[in-house]
Amino acid sequence: MAIHEILIQQLFNGLLIGSFYGLVAVGYSMVYGIIKLLNFAHGDIYMLGAFSGLVFLSIISPTIGAGWGSLILGMLISMILVGLVGVLIQRVAYRPMLKAPRLSILITALAVSMILYNTIMLLSSGRFLPFRTEISTESFFLGPLRLNETRVVLIVAAFALMFIMHMFITKTMYGKAMRAISMDRDTCQLMGIDVYKIIALTFFVGSALAAGAGIMAGVYYGTIHFYMGFLIGLKAFTAAVIGGIGIIPGAMLGGLLLGLLESFGTQIPFIGTVWKDVFAFAFLILFLIFKPNGLLGRSEKERM
Amino acid sequence: MAEIKKKAKTTNPFETIIEALFIFFEKKINMYAFIALAVGFLIIFPNVSSRFTQEIMTNLFFYVVVCLGLNIIVGYAGLLHLGFAAFFAVGAYTTGILSSRMGMDFWLTIPFSILAAIIAGLAIGFPTLRLRGDYLAIVTLGFGEITRLTIRNLDVTGGAIGLIGIQRPVFFGITLNQISHFYYMFFILAILAIIISYRLENSRMGRAWEYIREDEDAAAAMGINVVTTRLYAFIIGSAFGAVGGSFFAAKMTAISPDSFMFIHSVMFLMAVVLGGMGKIPGVVLGSMLVVLIPEVARGIGPYRLLIFGFLLLIIMLYRPQGIWPDKPAISAKE
């Protein structure tokens, strides 16, 4: 392949992977913005989404036939269900800890993450499960770009979800309430906003998006595994930091940027795919040193 | 604010016993007598027990050393560290590489292992602690995973197979190769770790850590440099982990990346949190629980982490100070 073909191909791959990162990072960033919690369980929510997607798909496909219809239906059901799981986790594990020391709620989040992934590990016997969708994987060319139906639909769906999310945050009352709470929770309570309801809603939306990303990643890679959420949680955090944590468009931008950096990074000699994750982590450290507020963040320096 | 309603002080038999114990140990002479008895028992222990039991006890001492190090970061400074296995790996691999590839004497490798931990601690701690304390949690989580990936992919660390042929330490002409030797070695190390922790806790630095943990802004207003003080906690704790790693490498003579997974970091953290963060006896108790529960209840094997996850959640929700009770004076103040 000529060099420009590789570049275009990597650009597409980077945007696709980056949009998964972005969708997970949005939930991460929203939760951080609203209750200042690094939700370690968010990567596991993504994993949970992929597994529940697989379960629903295997229920729906035989009745209405495999294909995009059943995939989208399964995805919607899983997103709602996993969103509700997110709300449940928030209610049981995080809400009682909102006034506790910061260390306690971080440990709680770790506990939730352990519970989620160990449950799935036991249920799936720790195996890699194939994510069969029976959608055509025949490739075709668009100029120099090699594509297939799945990848086109995935990237469109991912960007559509991001767009809907953006509209939700900027144009609806609920989105406005979320942004207000992230600025000052106590004042919001005085203004008559039901803070706990909005926090629950944030967890619902964030978890649903992560679940959606999980299912799309399942379709894209073809296999799912109980440990798949671990690294993506880390990368979502990196993406959120790159864009400016707590800022929703920043998280999306950060995700796309990280996806691009990774996919081009693997093309650099000596880095390759083996060091891909190390590369992403190095970026996190560099951003923390030189641009800790992220690309879209305000420049004020604030500490915990 | 239903969440923060104060719990009524209950008087159940358990708490009565605890209170009686506290009154008993209030007298210094009782305390010293108890410590002398415990130490005496542990010294003669290898003569009256099987090799298998000694192995478990050695493992317990090793946990005490490493977890006391983690306790400095989590318990004293109030920072969450999720990649402690990585610092443990830094120590183990420094000793491993210097010993097996360069033939350096075990005792000489320890300063290098501490130095490596300090460098790693600075590289991770400095950019992170400057910002927010809670960023450290996820950066250390990432560092733990990256360290494992790095030692898996480098040649000098032996890749996925790891290092073999790490030399046994020689102590006054005796080559330490029996399990009872390692029992005493880790026993002495654990006692040293307890003494150092105790001295640190009651030092000027220890009080600064406690102050920052309780109220960062007030501490800063009193002239404590929050970033530097936290960085000290992070580095000192990491050095503990690295020393533990060096001794681990010497005991095992072979190390591989599988000994330094995220699960190990979680286990160390479990020991600190279960027993009681920031309390030396609590950490010892927590280490006992983490080491002994899987040995006693062998059947729980695959469910172990799930059970520990629930335990962690329950502890945080209902007893955040851990199993080891606070001194009555502190709990009454609330």
Query: How far out from the chain centre does Cα B105 lie?
Result: 26
**CA B257 vs CA B5, B145, B152: distances in Å:** 47, 11, 6
Per the CB < 8 Å rule, is A38 touching B130?
no
Contacts of B305 in chain A (CB under 8 A): 114, 118
Rounded to the nearest angstrom, the gap between the alpha carbon of residue A276 and the centroid of all alpha carbons in its chain is 19
pLDDT tens by residue, A76-131: 999 999 999 999 999 999 988 888 877 888 889 989 999 998 999 899 888 888 88
Interface residue of B79, B139, B213, B214 to substitute, partner A, most A CBs within 10 Å: B139
Checking DSSP bridges between strand B174-175 and strand B170-171, what pairing results, if any? antiparallel
Q: What is the 3-state secondary structure (H, E, C) of chain B?
A: CHHHCCCCCCCCHHHHHHHHHHHHHHCHHHHHHHHHHHHHHHHHHHHHCCHHHHHHHHHHHHHHHHHHHHHHHHHHCCCCCCCHHHHHHHHHHHHHHHHHHHCCCHHHHHHHHHHHHHHHHHHHHHHHHCCCCCHHHHHHHHHHHHHHHHHHHCCCCCCCCCECCCCCCEECCEECCCHHHHHHHHHHHHHHHHHHHHHHHCCHHHHHHHHHHHCHHHHHHCCCCHHHHHHHHHHHHHHHHHHHHHHHHHHHCCECHHHHCHHHHHHHHHHHHHHCCCCHHHHHHHHHHHHHHHHHCHHHHHHHHHHHHHHHHHHHHHCCCCCCCCCHHHHHHC
- Per-residue confidence (pLDDT) for residue A22, from 0 to 100: 92
How many contacts, defined by CB atoms under 8 Å, are there between A and B?
123
Residue whose token pair is 């269900």: A81
**Cβ-based contacts of B3 with chain A (< 8 Å):** 95-96, 98-99
Domain that holds residue A105: 3-137+146-290
Task: Give the number of domains in chain A.
Answer: 1
DSSP A90: I
Any domain includes A204 = yes
To the nearest whole Å, the CA of A286 is away from the closest chain B CA by 8
Average pLDDT over all residues of chain B:
82
Is A304 among the domain residues?
no
Backbone angles phi, psi at B135, to 5 degrees: -60, -30
In this structure, what CATH number is given to the domain that contains residue A244? Answer: 1.10.3470
Q: What is the pLDDT of residues B64-102, one digit of tens each?
A: 999 999 999 988 888 888 888 999 899 999 988 888 878
Tokens of A119: 């449950």
Q: Report pLDDT for A52.
A: 93
Give the pLDDT score at A299: 54
| The pLDDT value given to residue A5 | 78
Domain boundaries, chain B: 56-262
For B322, the token pair is 């851990």
ipTM of the complex: 0.81
Measured distance CA(A232)–CA(B250) in Å, rounded:
35
Residue A299: inside a domain, yes or no?
A: no
> Which positions in chain A touch B302 (Cβ < 8 Å)?
122
Contacts of B142 in chain A (CB under 8 A): 234, 237-238, 281, 284
Backbone angles phi, psi at B65, to 5 degrees: -60, -55
- Please indicate whether, in this complex, the C-beta atoms of B137 and A106 are within 8 angstroms of each other: yes
pLDDT beneath 50, residues of chain B: 1-8, 329-334
A110 touching B, CB under 8 A?
yes
Distance to chain A for B218, nearest Cα, Å: 13
Of A38, A93, A292, Cβ closest to residue B134? A38
- Half-sphere exposure in the Cβ direction for B27 (13 Å, CA): 8
Q: How far is A33 from chain B (nearest CA, A)?
A: 13
Q: What is the pTM of this model?
A: 0.84
Ranges of chain A with pLDDT below 50: 301-304
Cβ within 8 Å of B, A 129-168: none
What's the gap in Å between the CA of A103 and the closest CA on chain B?
A: 6
Gap from B246 CA to chain A (nearest CA, Å) = 25
